[in-house]
Structure 1
Amino acid sequence: MDVKLGSSRAPSQDPSPPTRRVVAVIELLAKAPAAPLTLAEICRDLGITRSTGHAILATLCSYNWVLRDPLSGTYTLGSGFPRPQSVDIPIMGKLRGPLRQLCATLGMPVCVSEVNAGHITVIASVAPDAGHAYVQAGQRLPFVAPFGREFVAWASAAAQQMWLDAAGPVNDIYRARMPEVLNEIQHRGYGIERLSDSLLKVYAALLALEAGNVPDPVAVRLAAAVADLTIVDFLPGELAQIERSALATISAPIFDHHGEVVMTVSAQPYKQLTLEQVRSIGDHIREFARHAGSLLAGDMRATGRP
């Protein structure tokens, strides 16, 4: 990297050194869009102190101009950084406004996720305020049962079986239950994640493990532990008791123009809800998913992609 605070590119008499440091950080990240940088690398390249670098990056992250991967601690330009718009606007650029509106309507954090290289990755998230605990952009889980049900509920039987088998040995009750759960998600239009101490503990361990390019074998077995330790989703006869269970997420699929699930949108209540509230949230996230799918199809037509 050749961007230095003392380089010839900097004005000979800089009227605002703090502003110049912010510009230098942005320039540095813009030159390496595919190579995320750590705080130490940024400070070393720019010749600034760690405290100064941390303060700049924290501010830029708060405006979503910069994104910090919570697993690797690296930084990249965020989706909120202003860029010239064209006819081929990335889909998340178009969805960020509607995602904020969904968050405001529901009064709870919401996020959009995709599957990539064997992981479920959160690619955008919004919370009502800083006081809400929520799933943040960049967090990943292994794409093995029972995680990612909304991605496979509409898939072929063979794809569902591969997803189930990827978790390894699980108890017989769970293995018999999951096909029913997938059928119910397809019928209902969204999945429901129960909140439990076991889920929270496994989830925290998974976030610590999922830093590599492929799912960690230990992470895969931890995912299977959710199947052994919890009751996954709700079947029709269980919905009457839904008010007795705290809920982590309610998630709906986003389809492309081929009818394949390419992303999901999730609301994150992290509390007990009435059945009426669950159904209302389900309606809102399905409406968002339909809008996202139509935008995605429009993007494909505009660029001539199949």
Structure 2
Amino acid sequence: MVELLATAEATPLTLAEICRELRISRSTGHAILTTLCSCDWVLRDPVSGRYALGAGLSAMYRHATTTSRLLREPLQELCSAIGVSACISELSNGAISVIASASPNTTRPPVQAGVTLPFVAPFGREFVAWAAPADRERWLDAAGPVNDVYRARMPKILNEIHERGYGIERLSDPLLKVFGALLAVEDGSAPDPVAVRLAGAVADLTIVDFLPGELAEIEEYPLATISAPIFDGQGNVMMTVSAQPYTKLTQQEVRSIGARLVEFAGHASSLLAPRVPPAATQYLDGKR
């Protein structure tokens, strides 16, 4: 219901229109709207009787719901084309938030909408691979102390993602364990110190992404995600789209999925750029 009202923000809807669109009974619709109104999530015009989003929902949340609705069908088409689940993520309050997910079949995606991760290295590489050197350094430093091998490798990885057009996440036992732990401590409200330290554990215990000389070995490793950036009209990364294979892939399959993701990202950019509020691009300096 919130998604419906977000897309109809310019033209508030009546109870009958809402119930008809969502295929629910009038009594059910009225009960839900009454609850939303009591929380100030929805406002009812006393004259027209029409409903619109209320002040209890932030402008950024309205943007997120509108975005997920806009990209839902294209994302589903992408999943069908590549044969694996996919999701779209954005930055909010110092965290990476999954705002939409889809699967090519009836199974649930490994990473679903609503999941949040801390925006510290090595998570969110596709957001910073196109950023200025100082912004890259701040992102790297946010994870705290890490081993020297990782520290020397990560700038090369960011350069490779920039050149390749997409990042690759290896699937490993440490990654799965840390991911599970992050889901338990992250609520997306603010960067959590425990979550930040857990992210640093991924840096210390895993090999991140692939450098050019390592691609020959890619078929030996199961892959968690392949992710490409979605740019706004000013060339800033505003979101990412990620395939979720969670299995081994050949080099050709990785390149094929990567190309599809880049193509999708270009289409999404053209759809979303006019709708993105100025604050949406201010993610590296904590203004978002």
Smaller-chain TM-score bracket: 0.7 to 0.9
Residue number in structure 2 paired with 1:119:
95
Task: Look up the SS of the partner of 1:215 in the other structure.
Answer: coil
- After TM superposition, the structure 1 = structure 2 runs for residues 54-203 of structure 1, keeping only pairs within 5 Å, are 79=65, 90-203=66-179
User: What SS does structure 1 have at the residue aligned with 2:101?
Assistant: strand
Q: In structure 2, what residue type is equivalent to 1:189? A: G
Contact conserved, 1:247 with 1:270, CA < 8 A, in 2? yes
What letter matches 1:128 in structure 2?
Answer: P
The answer to whether residue 33 in structure 2 is matched with residue 27 in structure 1 is: yes
Indicate yes or no: 2:260 matched with 1:284.
yes
- Unaligned 5+ segments in structure 2 are 1-23, 43-61, 278-288
Match for residue 228 of structure 1 among 200, 204, 214: 204
* 1:229-244 equivalence runs, <5 A: 229-244=205-220
Deviation, 1:284, is: 0.4
Partners of 1:33 and 1:247 lie apart in 2 by 42
Q: Is contact 1:91-1:295 (8 Å) kept?
A: no
Amino acid corresponding to residue 161 of structure 1 in structure 2: E
C-alpha displacement at 1:26, in angstroms? 3.3
Q: Compare 27-36 and 224-233 and name the one that shifted more.
A: 27-36
Amino acid corresponding to residue 144 of structure 1 in structure 2 = V
Higher alpha-carbon Rg: 1
Contact 2:121 2:143 in 1 (8 A): yes
Distance 2:80 2:39 in 1: 31
Tell me, yes or no, if the aligned pair for 2:101 and 2:112 is still in contact at 8 Å: yes
Count of aligned pairs: 235
Could you tell me how far apart the structure 2 residues matched to 1:151 and 1:32 are?
Answer: 38
Q: Residue by residue, what CA displacement relative to the aligned partner does 1:213-271 show, whole Å, maximum 9, x if unpaired?
A: 21110110000000000000000000000000000000000000100000000000000
Q: Could you say what the CA RMSD is over the residues aligned between the two structures, in angstroms?
A: 2.4
Q: TM-score, normalised by structure 2?
A: 0.76
Q: Secondary structure at the match of 1:232?
A: coil
Contact 1:127 1:134 in 2 (8 A): no
State the Cα distance separating 1:211 from its structure 2 match: 1.6
Helix, strand or coil at the partner of 2:110 = coil
Identity %: 61
- The structure-2 alpha-carbon separation of the partners of 1:153 and 1:300, relative to structure 1 and needing over 3 Å to count, comes to closer
Aligned to 1:31, the other structure's residue is in SS state: helix
Instruction: Give 5+ residue unaligned stretches, structure 1.
Output: 1-17, 37-75, 80-89, 302-306
